[in-house]
Amino acid sequence: MKKIFAALVVLCLLGVEKSNAQLERGNAIVGADVANFNIGLKKGSHTTIDLSPKGAWMLNSNLAVGAYVNFHLETAKDYDTYTRYGVGALARYYVNDPKVNILRAGRWFFEGNAGFEGDNTKGGNSTNGLGLGIGPGYAYFITKNIAFETLLKFNENVGFGNTTSTSNLNLGLGFQIYLPGRATANKISNDMK
């Protein structure tokens, strides 16, 4: 119980830290991009779910590396089911220039990924293999540790199946939580003594 209470105190006190504290070396980023959520309620209507959880660690104040998982499902009665999936590594570079970051609480970033991905339509085209993606994004910090993000990413999937490649442009919206690393938590804990 003491550990849980200490962790909550540390998270609450992070609001006292400077505005760039969430992007310090050793901090962790967890969250998900959610796009194209559509659940059909009438007979024959489409149901679409798109979810991309991710986690990353800040290597320095501008660079984060981590992993992602993608899952997309589109289905409707009397139509073929389409699924897209993926798992792999990601890298994110934050632009830390006041001339570019117009809003004090926001940061531009570029994200790239590489991993195993697939695009499959039941009874139709399929491509499974190397998935690559790159694009710009913007993180707006609604609190010191929670950011609302938008990410425009070009994705390419090259591999095997009856189609050798697929590509798409995806606009993702989501939330990320920036958790303190051990060094930041220790610094706050020592400042409290």
Nearest CA-CA partner of 52 in 86, 18, 27, 7? 86
Sign of CA dihedral 71, 72, 73, 79: negative
Contact between residue 118 and residue 130 where contact means Cβ atoms under 8 Å apart: no
Distance, in Å, from the CA atom of 132 to the CA atom of 89, rounded to the nearest integer, reads 10
For residue range 78-94, list pLDDT tens digits in order.
677 888 899 999 999 99
pLDDT digits (tens, 9 = 90+) for 21-42: 678 888 899 999 887 666 666 6
Q: In the prediction, which pLDDT does 5 show? A: 41
Q: How confident is the model at residue 44 (pLDDT cuts 50, 70, 90)?
A: low
Give tens-digit pLDDT for 104-133: 889 999 999 999 999 888 877 888 999 999
Looking at residue 55, its pLDDT comes to: 95
C-alpha distance across the termini of the chain, in Å: 20
Which pLDDT does position 191 carry in this prediction? 66
| pLDDT recorded at residue 13 | 38
Do 168 and 179 touch, CB atoms closer than 8 A?
no
pLDDT bracket for residue 14 (50, 70, 90): very low
Task: Tell me: pLDDT of 47 over 80.
Answer: no
Is the CB of residue 107 less than 8 Å from the CB of residue 94? yes
Predicted TM-score of the model (pTM): 0.75
Cβ atoms < 10 Å from Cβ of 179: 19
Top-ranked range on mean pLDDT: pick from 8-12, 97-101, 152-156, 163-167: 152-156
Half-sphere exposure of 115 (CA within 13 A, CB side): 20
pLDDT level of residue 159 (50, 70, 90 thresholds): confident
Which tens digit of pLDDT belongs to each residue from 164-184? 888 888 888 999 999 987 766
Full set of structural domains in the chain with CATH: 2-192 (2.40.160.20)
Q: Is the pLDDT of residue 100 over 70?
A: yes
